[in-house]
Structure 1
Amino acid sequence: MSRLFQPLTIRGTTFAHRTWVSPMCQYSCDPVEAPGVPNDWHLVHLGSFATGGAALVLTEAAAVVPEGRISPQDAGLWNDEQAGAWRRIVDFLHGQGAAAGVQLAHAGRKASTHRPWDERSGSVPVAEGGWPTVGPSAVAFGSYAEPAALDEAGTAGVVRAFADAARRADEAGFDVVEVHAAHGYLLHQFLSPLSNRRTDRYGGDLAGRSRLLLEVVDAVRAVWPQDKPLFVRLSTTDWVEGGWDVDDSVALSRELAAHGVDLVDASSGGNVPDAPIPVGPGYQVPPAGRIKRETGILVGAVGMLLEPAQAEQVLVSGDADAVFLARALLADPRWVQRAAVALHEHGTLAWPPQYVRATRQQVPLVRPRG
């Protein structure tokens, strides 16, 4: 059996294989009639990956408070209406044999922005449906609006909001919670000395800058069932001198493991505009491998993993325990089924019975579900 198609058990959850769906923001909620509520677009978008054979489908970043949304059109999990809408999607994913995960997030100083395809970029004015933003310090991200520095009451509110969202995630039936501490959003902003210039206990050295994330993890782990996995997404480096780097990520990953985190989802960048990121196939795999080898925590690799053989090699080489796919799945929601054929595992991956007829001439060993 290929490594890619071996099952993986974490706590009480067994994933059928190790090809997982990375969070991908869709900016598709109705900000007026149903702010933060996932809708039919999210059902079809996420459901297509489950029918395509993914073992774990992670949602886009779900904001834990309204002001934590990246854009007014972002999804959330700060109220029960949103939890009920997510439940419908979770039930469909489970019906296709996929595990369901939710990424919990707060965008911090990168909140209240226009969608990527809107004519304008940057911050949405308050008069047009935007809101004031917050961060560890009053330091703007590029040309975005300057955030207000969170006081200690504000940091405590962030911790409570993540815990409340995790409780709702359990009620909605999710199998996995991932805390988003990457891509220049609030928890990453606290980690990086480039955005965190505080002099109180949430700033300064690595321990101070890591404090808020560890408090969030502890609060989430306290309400998240012990038999369910907890992931954290990290940007392993800011890609600029003086910023957060891989050494920091290794040290933090040891702490995360001690605080009950089961897997580090190793991404990079996002906290510095126009950082010189050497984007290319597998460019984020080496930091993932370092974290895995030097800490022993489970690691997921992500970033331009485009072909089945490439993804297989990441696991065979010991650089990661699972792979997260994003753009490859947008281009081909049946990437996983294609990978099963390419790696001679087509007899182990069940297709929906509605689609089996499409495989009979090419894949004689496909078995239907059910």
Structure 2
Amino acid sequence: MRNNFFPDRRFSTSDVAKLKKADQNNQNQTKEQIEKEINLLDIEYHKLLNESRELDQSLEFIKEKFHSESTSLQNIIQKNKESINALKMTVKAVLTDSPLNVGQELKLEIEQLTKEIEFLNSNQKNLHLSYSNINKDLEELNFLIDAVPFEHNDIFNLAEQKIKHQINKDIIEHQISTTEASSKKESLEIEIRMASSIISELSKTNFHLTKKIDNLKQKRQELRRELNEANQNRNNFAINTIPFSQLQKILKNKEIEKEKELNEIDSDFAPMFKKLENEQTMVKSEIDERIKITEELNQRINELVTEYERKKSNRLIKIQKLNQKHANELFDIQSRYEKIKEEALADQKRRLESNLNYS
């Protein structure tokens, strides 16, 4: 006998159909929600993929620009070397018996500039090595990404593109520093050419001055020779010769004439000597200024290298955080999907069991 408190409830075919339809609607809603999330992720992925392609194009453009400006920098260094060689040849011509030993000082300063330019050249090689190290890091990251046993290559490709974007920023900063170094080297080249022209003028002036001094030395030698001949004549010939007092008078007159000529030469060359001293001071100040600029440039390059190392370390930390973030997101998506799937299956199973029990 059936219990009156629990009346016998049997589901009709329409009720079962309604339950199945409701269960199907729930499954469809869950499926639509999952598909909607997947579509949103797919849209975001394609958006990021387009951005990564643009970053790739920008990276290629920067590589080409870096190569062209690196070639231009090498040409400037070659021109500086040629200018220095020309200055060395000019200094060799200047290194004579001139009263102002300007050439030796200029030679030492030019050798110092040569060492500084070689140091800049080595800094450029270090920049190329840094660029090669960046490419090696990229290859290692690609290898590590390919080695991860996970079937979400698109997300890892997205992480790789973000890393390239960070590297792109570093390359742009190094490109700016390289452009500044190129402009400063061009200014140094112009100043070296000016110094070369000044040294050329000094060489011409010293040549004329040396020639006149040689003529003066020759005249002194002739006077000494005449004096020696007069002394010999006085000792060998006592008769029919010029008296010694008269000879002394002649020699005294010649000495006076010689002193007069020397004073005239000194008065002629005094302004020239003063001009040479002024030009020497000017050249020395210009070289000191170039040395100061070179020291500032070296300091800037060292700062850029330090900044690059710091950003490289920050980049590695960001890569680790990004990988961890994507791994957590993927794990969360999978967990939610599995949970929704299990809940839907459990709900469906529970309803089917309840339907069977009622039946």
Q: TM class, shorter-chain normalised?
A: under 0.3
Instruction: Give TM-score scaled by structure 2 length.
Output: 0.19
Per residue, is there more helix in 1 or in 2?
Answer: 2
Q: Which has the higher contact order (CA 8 A, sep 6+)?
A: 2
Flag the structure with larger Rg: 2
**More strand per residue: 1 or 2?**
1
